[in-house]
Structure 1
């Protein structure tokens, strides 16, 4: 589309600006100096595609308090929800978002612990009473900073740029030289002055404290570890929780009462933690013990332990005690370490004890005060840490009493603190019997025994990362495939097959967010992200090289993995999870009969999948209580502070760095809430590079099932005439295809087509809460069709096209984008895609991989190609070749894979969204 000529822009220094143009998007407080800046911001961050029909996405009303006049039977149960009406004082059930009446979900809030607002003295407020202001500070009160410049400089130098102290001194010295011209001082005198100002911030202040143990023995002949004192560094959890609750950044993202979601068929759904059984049952227990707690808010604290050390500084970040190697096998030293570990947890958490019985008044993210009762919620830990926490023997299950030699057998009951005590009493504390027959370590008393409503066996949460992704998949199944090849082939032949698998993995076509394995799996340091990426592409690479039984085993496990990684779980989903577990257990027997696992499958991490349905009912979506939460914070909380330290006795420096970062973050939130500082946003995309955005990203937009729009910048190197464009892209029939698309006669004139423009990408926005997404569950991915991609040749992505209302892939097809373009015809705008079609092979997914297989749709000796409106495209699709039994060429590039094979798997494991639509 030719652009109208514009007058030349004035020089930048003379540009007129309109001060503080606000963004009108709800919840966005950003302002701009120019109208163009505001326009770019809105286009980049607040794209508003047409919303789906149905109720609007509105937050649920806060539950009202119960009058507590009578005891209401709890609707909580693990079986399907019975018909149940909430207590009369509980508000009418709210209707959640959905597509139709059959998908409407309503919430039933806990009738007694309702999180009712009160004043700072704990007196309940009338309904609708607004919260009191957080403070009486003036809008220009920057304390402890003098002004905006001081805060911005401190935040930039310490948090964003992480400038060293010496470089800060040099920067301030240069700044002071410039300020001498006007006889004014620099914002700070030196780096120490900057640090002292940050330290003076009271918001977010949770000082580090240190517990020092007394030596176990002072005898001269006692071992060294017994004569030493040990330091436990911590922050008072009561202060940390208070600061978290008083953070307005969490407003709108916080549930103040447990709830249960049901649909009109009385089927239940589990999603967030507060929708699950744990919070509801503990609220029942609290109210039953003391009905004066009515109206309070049960606040389960999520605990987390991570045994991880820095490679260069082991002692600095270790939560395990290190001694001389000669004590490694000393039973007394091992027992001491376990007992000190639990004593440390008990001491650190002791400040929460009073608030676990009597409510304490705390300000919440919405500004209201509430009476809060502290509680212990899920405990996130990897299996070795779980063993230590639960006081059991390595190789046993922390949640059930299944014997270590037959973990998946049918003889087991739930492990609880009470049942453990009964066994210890029954056997008179016989440590050997309890260790060997019941997996109980009598030397360890879990720290939870000192706290109300705390049972460590109930608290331990599922761990997707270490139990499933890195554990069962990478460390078990992938390794077993290699072992099978070694058992059934000569060494040289087995290595050739493994090399072929690696080449196939490296040849997988590109997709947004997919990590490429350039050399296959041949690298030493595997991360959780590497294992996740391998899960997406591993199965098709094996087909044709290993027996179908192995493919089916991995397929059933991947089905289980993707089911439990979802955001929402209804009763049908839980049934599907149980079925996937049963299928996996049957199919993995092939590895036993093949000699890979002759001893069976008593593997604690793999055994844990039996408990996932129960855990989902207790804690909600497993992704919310996964150890990947700590993995994502490891760099900012550990690695970067370590690099900023002097490396000598670095622990104290690292703790101080974290404390200062927290204070800067708290100050920024406060200044933003008072309107003194613009909200923090990522930098706007450069106008020139607007088409080079990330291939996928989470977006904070309204819910849509799917909306595809072309890039904002057209490509100028293409002809604007249909005939010339067809010749340019080597599709001479483009004009005929346009006539077909417009329902014109075969000889109709196309002169009325105007503003024909070509684009190299389009963005698809869709609802996918199970993937990394915005707070409304929205995700955006880029579909590319470009003749040159990162100097590796053309990239022409595939996409799903919706054809009818049949479920899953039965109602869709896959196409490959040949051209993205738009034009105007008779005044109507047409965003389109020129696509090559694939057709399904068979009427159901492949029985081995569980994926649909497609092949190019060849008609009359050539690819079937059409023009489709973008509204028919749902999102990007990922195809992986059916490699077969032959080896692929060594020089095959991943950019050529879609042109080099006859059939392809429709990869339903590429992400959670594909898994939910391509079944």
Structure 2
């Protein structure tokens, strides 16, 4: 599906030619041509949810002088939402990542955790409503998660806009929505009304766009309406049939989309009654019931100016039972925290402060220093570097995430301490919010960090950067995060980054492969085929047909290779040559303890004496002998330091030297697989990309009872090595140690400051087993 018809035909011709030369002329190729292959895909019944269209138009009076937008038919393309949800529920791909009922999870006495949607208070509350209704009592709750976001596919011109709507099943775990699986699928493409400049800013046209938007969403979800009050018998991932009741669930959207959805005035909060010019003031929450009272009580002018409500907009949720759009809007980590509060606000404010408090030439010099600090940040797994600093035009979410990791050290010393503390508090809030699971402690930490952020951000007002205060909708939204987590679980499974990443496979890549003429219809066909291929792959996998790649299957069939053990299936790629450019990637393994492994093949082998000369560590052979003793005879009361040199075991084999190792650990807030596992490459090489050496720093487990750095140590890996002793392979690392400066983190940045550990003016070195390494640690 990702190559052209001409390339497919060429591959089929090569395949046919190969079979003919091998005497299989009667069955020259599996397909005659690309058209036959595509017809075969179209005939797949699994995952079939055909696209259909409906048309909406302006229903007011029209005459010869009426603007064109009132006389235009607006076409919306949609799938049957009931069919799509039925296909998703029946997918065995989610059998181990599916909750059949709401639940409350506790890890300790009175310490509840919130993670997936069904662990939240909202699912529990809605299930109670279903249980109290005799018509739906005993049915399975199935929340319908929705997401909508405009996207532009033509970067050069910006004229090709699409407005896809996505749908997901709330019973599916967050990790599956983040793992590029078919847990989030396009359900519709909304019409985008256009008009001339004369009418574009008129109240009438803006109102029409909002009404068209809500009418379209109501029509898209109409097939599910009956199933919200009358249970439908449906197959679930475990192959059992259950009576299912659907529920309009959380809606993923950025702030402009939230304004449309909630039917409020731009600048107001869609979740509470805080006024647009006083968003810092806490106010009561909005609700469906309150909206009805307001509409019945006040005229349009009072609704607009006093309550921030658009009078003639009725949210689509009014068409469905038990749905409250104000409650259902989810936190948006990407646009509210990362792109909004951090990049658009804090980073810009820092630059404005430098400009306000210095001469133009001095301000430029300071910003150049900050840029140079950012530019010299060492390579780090998954970190997007800025060789020229942060002064470029096209910013992505990943750029902002990368800048967040290095911004505090870059500005320290050039701005007041209170500004650094403000950003540090915000970072604490941000990274806690991105966790995959929360408990009462983490939510309390979020509230504390947000309060600290609000306390220190007044420095920007005092210094004249924000003289008008902080009535900023995206910053104000942070105040609703803790309650939303209690309602819907972790925000990282309900974030607009999920829908934006889905734009790539659902919109942008199909558009690039289209002829660009009537591209939307071609995009729909591509999405249908991709859905069918994904569904059939799940069925084939469940039947054991996709356990191996083609070559492995052929070798097993020919008796040239034994089938791998079942336990090895998930870790067959755990050890790689680590040549990939991207050192940070998702890992498809199930959740497990973290581990570090060396590559399959060493870069070279050498003796301990040769490596000693190469690294300039004269006593390396003795270090190795003492390390072997400690590994062979673990005794806290008798270490290798107590053993005479002549009694230490001798190394009888050559050393295998590796330039990298793979660390796999649980980090669902990063790029991760369905089990939340993340893989990164730790490098230790004398020449990185034909340039200088690269020696990554790592976190090393020490004693968890120590208070310093929570029982962790920092080390820089000089070499990864392995050797065999008494028929046992021992993988280890030669490291240089760092020690913390002080017993607590720096009071301004909140970060630990470390320095090289020296002994008689020389760096102290050691040898550690790779099992002691947790993962990489960025030092700058």
Please tell me the TM-score bracket, short chain as reference. 0.7 to 0.9
How many Å apart are 1:316 and its aligned residue?
Answer: 5.5
For the residues of structure 1 that align with 2:655 and 2:8, how far apart are their CA atoms?
Answer: 54
1:205 maps to 2:48: yes
Task: State the match for 2:246 in structure 1.
Answer: 374
Task: State the match for 2:655 in structure 1.
Answer: 756
Distance 1:277 1:493, change over 3 A: same
Unaligned runs of 5+ in 1: 1-158, 881-919
Q: CA-to-partner distance for each residue in 1:464-505, whole Å, 9 max, x for gaps?
A: 000000000000000101111111112222122212211111
Task: State the match for 1:745 in structure 2.
Answer: 644
Task: State the match for 2:703 in structure 1.
Answer: 804
1:275 maps to 2:124: no
Greater mean alpha carbon deviation, residues 668-677 or residues 680-689? 680-689
Q: CA-to-partner distance for each residue in 1:347-398, whole Å, 9 max, x for gaps?
A: 1111111000010011111111110001111000000000011000011000
How many Å apart are 1:732 and its aligned residue?
Answer: 1.4
Q: Which structure has greater helix proportion? A: 2
Q: CA-to-partner distance for each residue in 1:829-874, whole Å, 9 max, x for gaps?
A: 5433222111111111001110010111122111122223333332
- Which secondary structure does the structure 2 equivalent of 1:406 belong to? coil
In the TM superposition, 1:364-513 aligns within 5 A as: 364-410=236-282, 412-427=283-298, 430-513=299-382
Kept after mapping to 2: 8 A contact 1:462/1:612: yes
How many Å apart are 1:536 and its aligned residue?
Answer: 0.8
For the residues of structure 1 that align with 2:488 and 2:603, how far apart are their CA atoms?
Answer: 50
1:520 maps to 2:384: no
Distance 1:793 1:685, change over 3 A: farther
Task: State the match for 2:4 in structure 1.
Answer: 164
Distance 1:227 1:562, change over 3 A: same
Distance 1:177 1:830, change over 3 A: closer
RMSD: 2.5
Matching residue within 664, 674, 681 for 1:765: 664
Task: State the match for 1:872 in structure 2.
Answer: 772
Task: State the match for 2:176 in structure 1.
Answer: none
Matching residue within 677, 695, 708 for 1:778: 677
Greater mean alpha carbon deviation, residues 683-692 or residues 754-763? 683-692
1:285 maps to 2:129: yes
How many Å apart are 1:759 and its aligned residue?
Answer: 2.2
Task: State the match for 1:296 in structure 2.
Answer: 139
Distance 1:187 1:756, change over 3 A: closer
In the TM superposition, 1:44-193 aligns within 5 A as: 159=1, 162-169=2-9, 171-172=11-12, 182-184=25-27, 186-193=29-36
For the residues of structure 2 that align with 1:813 and 1:495, how far apart are their CA atoms?
Answer: 38
Distance 1:830 1:194, change over 3 A: closer
For the residues of structure 1 that align with 2:680 and 2:131, how far apart are their CA atoms?
Answer: 47
Matching residue within 811, 832, 839 for 2:732: 832
1:317 maps to 2:162: yes
For the residues of structure 2 that align with 1:583 and 1:190, how far apart are their CA atoms?
Answer: 65
For the residues of structure 1 that align with 2:597 and 2:242, how far apart are their CA atoms?
Answer: 45
Matching residue within 536, 552, 557 for 2:405: 536
For the residues of structure 2 that align with 1:691 and 1:168, how far apart are their CA atoms?
Answer: 31
How many Å apart are 1:537 and its aligned residue?
Answer: 0.9
Distance 1:510 1:638, change over 3 A: same
Distance 1:688 1:293, change over 3 A: closer
How many Å apart are 1:762 and its aligned residue?
Answer: 2.5
Kept after mapping to 2: 8 A contact 1:316/1:651: no
1:559 maps to 2:432: no
How many Å apart are 1:727 and its aligned residue?
Answer: 1.5
For the residues of structure 1 that align with 2:434 and 2:505, how far apart are their CA atoms?
Answer: 25
How many Å apart are 1:172 and its aligned residue?
Answer: 4.8
Task: State the match for 1:893 in structure 2.
Answer: none
Task: State the match for 1:788 in structure 2.
Answer: 687
Distance 1:604 1:748, change over 3 A: same
Q: CA-to-partner distance for each residue in 1:53-79, whole Å, 9 max, x for gaps?
A: xxxxxxxxxxxxxxxxxxxxxxxxxxx
Q: CA-to-partner distance for each residue in 1:82-101, whole Å, 9 max, x for gaps?
A: xxxxxxxxxxxxxxxxxxxx
Task: State the match for 1:339 in structure 2.
Answer: 211
How many Å apart are 1:810 and its aligned residue?
Answer: 3.7
- Which secondary structure does the structure 2 equivalent of 1:476 belong to? helix
How many Å apart are 1:261 and its aligned residue?
Answer: 0.6
How many Å apart are 1:315 and its aligned residue?
Answer: 5.3
Kept after mapping to 1: 8 A contact 2:576/2:600: no
Kept after mapping to 2: 8 A contact 1:396/1:402: yes
For the residues of structure 2 that align with 1:197 and 1:715, how far apart are their CA atoms?
Answer: 47
For the residues of structure 2 that align with 1:808 and 1:458, how far apart are their CA atoms?
Answer: 43
How many Å apart are 1:738 and its aligned residue?
Answer: 3.3
How many Å apart are 1:451 and its aligned residue?
Answer: 0.4
How many Å apart are 1:221 and its aligned residue?
Answer: 2.0
Task: State the match for 1:842 in structure 2.
Answer: 742
For the residues of structure 2 that align with 1:315 and 1:702, how far apart are their CA atoms?
Answer: 40
For the residues of structure 2 that align with 1:659 and 1:752, how far apart are their CA atoms?
Answer: 61
Task: State the match for 2:175 in structure 1.
Answer: none
The number of aligned residues is 714
Q: CA-to-partner distance for each residue in 1:551-606, whole Å, 9 max, x for gaps?
A: 11110000000010001111111111100010000000000000000000000000
For the residues of structure 2 that align with 1:631 and 1:682, how far apart are their CA atoms?
Answer: 36
For the residues of structure 1 that align with 2:277 and 2:44, how far apart are their CA atoms?
Answer: 56
For the residues of structure 2 that align with 1:316 and 1:779, how far apart are their CA atoms?
Answer: 34
Distance 1:550 1:673, change over 3 A: same
For the residues of structure 2 that align with 1:392 and 1:656, how far apart are their CA atoms?
Answer: 36
For the residues of structure 2 that align with 1:751 and 1:581, how far apart are their CA atoms?
Answer: 57
How many Å apart are 1:785 and its aligned residue?
Answer: 1.5
- Which secondary structure does the structure 2 equivalent of 1:631 belong to? helix
For the residues of structure 2 that align with 1:752 and 1:337, how far apart are their CA atoms?
Answer: 77
- Which secondary structure does the structure 1 equivalent of 2:653 belong to? strand
Q: Which TM-score applies when normalising by structure 1?
A: 0.74
Distance 1:179 1:785, change over 3 A: closer
1:713 maps to 2:557: no
How many Å apart are 1:748 and its aligned residue?
Answer: 5.6
